[in-house]
Amino acid sequence: MTRVLVVDDEPQILRGLKTNLVARGYDVDTAPDGEAALDLAARRRPDVVIVDLGLPGIDGVDVIRGLRTWTAVPIIVLSAREQESEKVNALDAGADDYVTKPFGMGELLARVRASERRAVSSDDGEAVVRTSAFTVDLAARKVVAADRTAVRLTPTEWHLVEVLVRHPGRLVSQRQLLQEVWGPRYEEETNYLRVYMAQIRRKLEPEPSHPRYFITEPGMGYRFEPGD
């Protein structure tokens, strides 16, 4: 079943869209703001994302950019703003389509279908995260260093890298990392994180003892900093 993530801060619109999409047989996740959207996208891997531009907190365009660091999922923008510059910004940030409110539900659904159709043919879009030191290909499960040599990661190392990289620039708590990689019963074993982060840094950081990409936030967790 096709999974759609809808991001909008107005509960009625959220509800209305969800109802319509569910009625058409879609599996729908909803998020009221950018943070929740990025988090849900990472965890649920939707096939299409519908995002409103006027969000509290992280801006809609930044949500698009955040998604585009690691996924090619089709993004349809909803917006009340008609100015051309808004449209151009959103599209150039990586959106696939831009629909101006008020919009017809039939049109939106047709645009969702168009996005789906494309996604099937191109299938695994580029899920690639690049830094100046290494490139992480999430679809191929491959890491390549700047000098084009492949980097070997163990399953646990890879899993950890994957979780961090899917939340670029954002803090991921120790709890969340441990739960995601080792399971709910290991939430206290922060030891593991230290050991594995060290290994990951040794393999990926240009200067493992002065990390630039995998940053420690003492007492809280770790953060992947794409840094361009």
Partner DNA sequence: AGCCCTCTTGACGTGATCTTGACGTCATCA
Partner DNA sequence: TGATGACGTCAAGATCACGTCAAGAGGGCT
Q: Answer yes or no whether residue 156 interacts with DNA by CB under 7 A.
A: yes
Give the list of residues 6+ apart from residue 177 with CB closer than 8 angstroms, or none.
Answer: 160, 163, 164, 193, 221, 222
In the list its own copies, DNA, none, the entry touching 85 (Cβ below 5 to 8 angstroms by class) is: its own copies
In the list its own copies, DNA, none, the entry touching 117 (Cβ below 5 to 8 angstroms by class) is: its own copies
Compute how many other C-beta atoms are within 10 angstroms of the C-beta atom of residue 19.
12
In the list DNA, its own copies, none, the entry touching 25 (Cβ below 5 to 8 angstroms by class) is: none
Which of 182, 187, 203, 206 contacts DNA by CB under 7 A?
182
Q: Answer yes or no whether residue 154 interacts with DNA by CB under 7 A.
A: yes
In the list DNA, its own copies, none, the entry touching 209 (Cβ below 5 to 8 angstroms by class) is: DNA
Given a contact cutoff of 8 angstroms between Cβ atoms, the answer to whether 8 and 52 are in contact is yes
Task: Please report, to the nearest 10 degrees, the dihedral formed by the alpha carbons of residues 86, 92, 94, 98 taken in order.
Answer: 40
Write phi, then psi, for 155 (nearest 5 degrees): -55, -45
Bridge partners (DSSP) of residue 137 are 128, 142
DSSP 183: -
Which of 174, 178, 204, 224 contacts DNA by CB under 7 A?
174
Span from 58-66, 82-90, 128-136, 202-210 in contact with DNA (CB under 7 A): 202-210
Go through 51-76 and write b for each residue having 16 or more CB atoms within 10 A of its CB, e for each that does not. Answer: bbbebeebebbebbbbbbbbbbbbbb
Q: Answer yes or no whether residue 190 interacts with DNA by CB under 7 A.
A: yes
Q: Answer yes or no whether residue 171 interacts with DNA by CB under 7 A.
A: no
Instruction: List residues binding its own copies (CB under 8 A).
Output: 72, 84-85, 87-88, 91-92, 94-98, 104, 106-107, 109-111, 113-114, 117-119, 121-126, 139-142, 154-155, 158, 169-171, 217-220, 223
Residue 9 or 116: which CB sits closer to its own copies?
A: 116
Residue 53 or 177: which CB sits closer to DNA?
A: 177
CA distances (Å), origin 165, targets 56, 99, 160: 24, 30, 9
Written as six digits, the tokens of 105 are 């539900």
Which residue carries 């109802």 as its tokens? 19
Residue 19 or 191: which CB sits closer to DNA?
A: 191
In the list DNA, its own copies, none, the entry touching 56 (Cβ below 5 to 8 angstroms by class) is: none
Q: State the Cα–Cα distance between residues 61 and 117, nearest whole angstrom.
A: 24
Residues that bind DNA (CB under 7 A): 152, 154-157, 174, 182, 189-195, 197-198, 201-202, 208-209, 211, 216, 218-220
